Structure 1
Amino acid sequence: MDGLIRNITFHAGINFIVDETPPLEILATGNNVGKTTVLQLIDFCLGASAKGIYTDPENKRNEDLKVKNYLIDKEVLITLTLTSDLESPFAEELVIERNFLPRKKQIRRINGEHLTEDAFEERLTNQLFLNHYGKKPTFRQLISHNIRYKDQSVNNTLKTLDSFTRDEEYEALYLFLLGCSFDDGDSKQTVLSQIRIETAFKNRLESKQTRSAYEASLSLLEGEIQRLDAQRSSLNTNPNLEDDLKALDKVRYEISVSGSKLSRLNLRRNLIQEAVQEVQSSTANIDIEQLKSLYSEVSAKLGKLNRKFSELVEFHNKMVNEKTRYIKKELPQLEAQIIEFSARLDQLRTTERELTKKLATSGSFEELEKIVVKLNEKHQKKGEYEIIIEQITAVEKNLKNLNEKLEGIDVLIFSDKFQAQVQERVNLFNKYFSEVSRELYGEEYALKFDIGITRTGQRVYKFSAFNTNFSSGKKQGEITCFDIAYTFFADNEKIPCYHFLLSDKKELMHDNQLVNIATLVERECKHVQFVASILRDKLPPALNKDEYFCIRLSQSDKLFRIEQHTS
């Protein structure tokens, strides 16, 4: 170990991470000194992956081996200290420690306690949002607007999650952030999960053709089978041979039907088991005794609580268990059917071998054999088509029932009363949003919502910000206004939130905008830390002062100081 590499102190108000490299030198070196990495390290301590610190964001396969090896070989430890009050030396603190080593050497601690990955996320979640672990939106989703260094969050005001995030996840996120709650939120997520399972199963069944196409093909097959049966009858002069061939046709048809049925039963069982694992992963396994002191402290501050902490945890886990039981209720019947069809298939194959052996010695004609081969192929296809049609029909029935159940939930969520509640919260937030944007830009930004339709046909709340300005600087300003306004809103509505805002690429903003932000933060946000990375030569004179800097970097003094420690 080489001792302390950096000690960065963040104060209330503006905190600039400054790159002091001269402009001409930046062009020559590529400006890679670690400004963004400071933000990434804070995010890392809050549960982000370590790979982002030494991986190219545009190409995940490209790693900066120099940085990666340094972090591992030197056993670099990152420590982040969060405080409940910036001004009080006696305020409650949360000390988070993480390193980059694998397995047993890995450090993941909170206030000195080693934690597993799940327990780490649980502790962070419940520290900010009591009893929220295992629910949606997740902790990482809830703090996504506080930490903006990835392109998605740097360039979008509300779309702060990855590009694969579903509309219903954004719906849950912003309803939660606005303080809009509804009792059927978990039920809706369960039903939507089941709808996705059934839809995925239906898509697999119809990967080649739709049900109507299978029905049309089945009708044609039945006609071809009748024609081949007529040809075979005209060629056969042996009554016993005819009976044996019919028996073989029947057995092979039943083998095809049973095999297809068994395959789809196994597929459905696997999909249900995957869904069960997904639901069970959200169970809250909380050490009641360990958090007893925290619960007591909350009770002391807020007064006597209506429910014990253990009762809340037990209630949540019962909800998860009930979801699991509901999804698993079909499994016993599926297992019984799988056993039944497996045994039936073995019996049919034994019969097929006996008939095939018998017919091999019957001396059939060559042309008759060709017809029999064709008939076998047609019967096999017929069996496959009938099973697929049966499965598609069952899935469509299930989807209809699930969508009816979802519609029942949506009657409440999209009722006039609930929409009015959402609109009331949006209007309240917009008072802060418009005031902040008016002061910074002389314009008024606002949040709005519409009721849209997802790709799978479900109704969903879609939130967006008014924005008629498409320049990079103005977009950066809209994002900053939103983040500051939300902090005001959350504090006044007693909604838990972090009071630090981390932003990258602030050199895209105009000088006047930066000065206005600094003025607003210094005057109105004494408890807020606005942390931004920026090139020093892009700073306006009014902000180019040591009192606003939390760290200075340059080509000769990069963040990790690898050159100094390895020379």
Structure 2
Amino acid sequence: MFIKSLSIISKNTDVVLRKIEFKNGINFIVDSEKSDKHNKVGKTTCLKLLDLSLGAKSKDAIFKDYETQSVNEQLRLFIENQKIYTDMVLIDDFNHPSKEVSIKTELFNRGKRYINGEQTSYDEVNKYLNELLFENSSQKPSFRSTIKSFVRILMTKDNTQFLKVLDNFSNISEYRAIYNYLFDISDPKNDLELGKLKQELKKIKSKEENYKKTNTIDDVVKIKQINVAIDKEIDRLEKEINDLVDKKAFEKNRVHINNIRKKYEEISRQLSKIDFDILQLQKYIKEAEEKSQRIVNQELANDFFQEISELLPSITKTFLDLVEFNSQLSRNKLSYFNDRIQELIREKENKENILTELTEKNSEFISLVEENKVDLYYDKLNQLNELKIKKVQNNSTIISLENIEEQKQSIEKRLSELEMTVKNNEVEYQKKMDIFNSCFKSVAGRINKEQPVLLYNPKTDEFPVSIGQLSEGTSTGTRKSLIAAYDIAYQLFARKINKTTPKFIVHDVLESIEGDDIRALVDEVESNQIQYISAILKEKLVSSGMSLEEQNKMIILELSMKDRLFEKCSELLNVHC
């Protein structure tokens, strides 16, 4: 398919603000300004509109400079307010057309896309164009990946770097898919699957590395050996626990046993307290009896009492009264201690009876309590549970590591099979390279006297193609003309192998090409009837030595500071842009 036309239209008024008619052969978009102003008239923007019609996503590229991040606010508002859209028409043949396709792209915010007047999603537009321009119903590689070899805008890469048409985040497999597809060398689906599997393998290896970092032991064999030792320790503990108690009966009556244990321990504690209190009272009684039996020097005590009485005349008691009072006090204390002991003895008997009753009613469990086997049981049970948890953790680690290893082996096996499939299914790539290089060398030789060759690399983990035999020290212009020679050669190659591809080339790489090379390039395009759409300075055409008449035949759009791409549009709508 060729590009027939591109129209810029206001949805508000249905006015066609600018219509650009293309033709087979050279289609130059030029400006008539001096070099210091040539970037401001809209040449590259016009090519961007074609790219947007061919599935590019960033609509703001029309009014935003990504290098400086500056925004042409007037143009942005013009597009938004007037609801500007483009209508690109594709045609299968200029002389005898049998098919035309309209691709409408609304440039304003939230604008839609249309195929032949029917609203279509962004993804569906790209799928449709992939089938239309490449007959690629498998969508592998994607349309936007492949079309970049035919639409080169804002080219900053030269020399062999122009072969890297994708963004910087693309991988080798994506490039292999593109070039194996374009040159009919192998199935691009295999290349893309190879790339996907390599990414998966990389992620799994990273996951394995991180997993091993977080686990002190990361060797499956070692972990299994540790589990053998854990199993032996588990068996030992289970036997010891079974020797202590009937585990099933214990677990069944756990609550009841714990209640008995609490009651038993509480009563035992109370009995110990009573025994202690009795011993203390017996000690007090003994001390009191010993004190009462001590011989007191009554004569000395009587003399002391008489002295005190003289000092305190209010005392009416005699010395004998005092002696009797002390004796009675001692007798009362002993009586209290003895009574208290009897109370404690009765209390002890009561507690012992309660304990006896508790023991008789729970004889099957009480031995556990009496021999402190409950604590021992729990201690060993905790040890057992810790070992079982450790074993579960180890088993989880084993499963994880074995799963990772299984995934690795599965992917590595599939990778090996795919690489063998790619190798076995590859046609003799050298034949395809010979066909292409016969065109490439001829075209490049006529344009800039170079003799480059495209080299194919069959290694699946390396970039698929490269340029060889390019003279060292070549100028930027020569290298830029090489890009043009490559794209022209590919059009001729596609014809020779009957491959369906776009029949157009869209470039903005001619600014640095020397005048003589431009003349030679024009001759190649015209003689081979290739649709070549490019932005170029008017002064470059003048330097090519072509006559004014020849130049005018090639120019499809001439822009200037007074007639910029959207300037005429705004005049038609009587708005300022």
Per the shorter chain, which TM-score range?
A: 0.5 to 0.7
Task: Please name the residue that 1:36 is paired with.
Answer: 44
CA distance in 2, matches of 1:374, 1:20: 86
CA–CA separation in structure 2 for the residues paired with 1:491 and 1:393: 49
Residue in 2 aligned with 1:449? 456
Match of residue 125 from structure 2: 120
Are the counterparts in 2 of residues 487 and 499 from structure 1 also a CA contact under 8 Å?
yes
CA displacement 1:299-335 (0-9 Å, x = unmatched)? xxxxxxxxxxxxxxxxxxxxxxxxxxxxxxxxxxxxx
- Match runs of 1:413-562 below 5 Å: 413=425, 418=427, 421-454=428-461, 462-466=464-468, 467-469=470-472, 471-522=475-526, 524-525=527-528, 527-541=529-543, 542-543=545-546, 545-561=551-567
Q: Pairwise mapping of residues 61-460 of structure 1 onto structure 2 (< 5 A)?
A: 64-88=72-96, 90-101=97-108, 106-130=111-135, 132-151=136-155, 156-181=161-186, 186=189, 189-190=192-193, 193-207=196-210, 209=212, 214-215=217-218, 382=394, 385-413=397-425, 418=427, 421-454=428-461
Give the match for residue 7 of structure 1. 19
Q: Deviations over 1:249-269 (max 9, x none)?
A: xxxxxxxxxxxxxxxxxxxxx
Structure 2 counterpart of 1:85, one-letter code: D
Check the 8 A contact 1:17/1:550 in 2, yes or no. Answer: yes
The answer (yes or no) to whether the contact 1:199–1:399 under 8 Å persists in 2 is no
| Mapped pair 1:57 → 2:66 | yes
Letter in structure 2 aligned against 1:436: V
Report SS of the residue matched to 1:448.
strand
1:19 to 20, 31, 39: 31
CA–CA separation in structure 1 for the residues paired with 2:106 and 2:509: 27
Check the 8 A contact 2:152/2:508 in 1, yes or no: yes
* Range with greater deviation from structure 2 (477-486 or 549-558): 549-558
SS at match of 1:169: helix
The letter of the residue matching 2:566 is F
Amino acid at match of 2:185: C
For 1:24 and 1:192, the matched residues in 2 are separated by 45
Return the alpha-carbon distance in structure 2 between the equivalents of residues 112 and 144 of structure 1: 26
Q: Aligned residue for 2:323?
A: none
By how many angstroms is 1:150 displaced? 3.6
Deviation at 1:218, TM superposition (A): 9.4
- For the 8 Å contact 1:15–1:529, the answer to whether it is kept is yes
- Does the aligned pair in 1 maintain the 2:30–2:537 contact within 8 Å? yes
Is the contact made by 1:47 and 1:121 (CA closer than 8 Å) also made in structure 2?
A: yes
Quick check: 1:566 aligned with 2:571?
no
Residues in 2 aligned to 1:42 and 1:32: alpha-carbon distance in whole angstroms:
18
2:562 counterpart letter in structure 1: S
Amino acid at match of 2:62: I
Q: Report the aligned-residue RMSD.
A: 4.2
- For residue 384 of structure 1, report the CA deviation from its aligned partner: 5.8
Structure-2 change in CA distance of 1:218 and 1:385 (3 Å): farther
- How big is each residue's C-alpha offset from its partner over 1:43-81, in whole Å with a ceiling of 9 and x where there is no partner? 11111112433343347x765444333222211120112
Query: What runs of 5+ residues in structure 2 fail to find an aligned partner?
Result: 1-11, 252-373
Quick check: 1:180–1:422 contact (8 Å CA) kept in 2?
yes
Letter aligned with residue 63 of structure 2: Y
Q: SS of the residue aligned with 1:540? A: helix
- Which residue identity does 1:143 align to in structure 2? I
State the one-letter code of the partner of 1:97: K
**Is the CA contact (8 Å cut-off) linking 1:218 and 1:385 kept in structure 2?**
no
Query: Against the structure 1 CA distance between its residues 238 and 63, is the aligned structure 2 distance closer, same or farther, given a 3 Å change threshold?
Result: farther
Q: How does the TM-score come out when normalised to structure 1?
A: 0.63
Query: How far apart, CA to CA, are the structure 2 residues paired with 1:69 and 1:474?
Result: 40
- Cα offset, 1:538, TM superposition: 3.7
SS in 2 for 1:207: helix
Once the two structures are TM-superposed, the CA of residue 399 in structure 1 deviates from its matched residue by 2.6
8 Å contact from structure 1 (residues 152, 160) kept in 2? no
Instruction: From the superposition, tell whether residues 121 and 25 of structure 1 become closer, same or farther in structure 2 (CA, over 3 Å).
Output: closer
> 1:378 Cα deviation (Å)?
7.0
User: What secondary structure is seen at the aligned counterpart in 1 of 2:505?
Assistant: strand
- Given that 1:202 and 1:395 are in contact with CA atoms closer than 8 Å, whether structure 2 keeps it comes out as no
Segment of structure 1 superposing worse, 91-100 or 460-469 = 460-469
CA distance in 1 between counterparts of 2:77 and 2:500 reads: 38
> Aligned partners of 1:62 and 1:240: how far apart in 2?
84
* Post-superposition offset of 1:170: 2.2
1:532 CA displacement: 1.6
The runs of 5 or more residues in structure 1 that have no matched partner are 248-361, 455-459
1:435 is displaced (CA, Å) by 0.7
What number of residue pairs does the alignment pair up? 426
Counterpart Cα distance in 1 of 2:63 and 2:385:
62
Question: SS of the residue aligned with 2:199?
Answer: helix
Partner of 1:335: none
1:363–1:73: structure 2 CA closer, same or farther, 3 Å change rule? farther
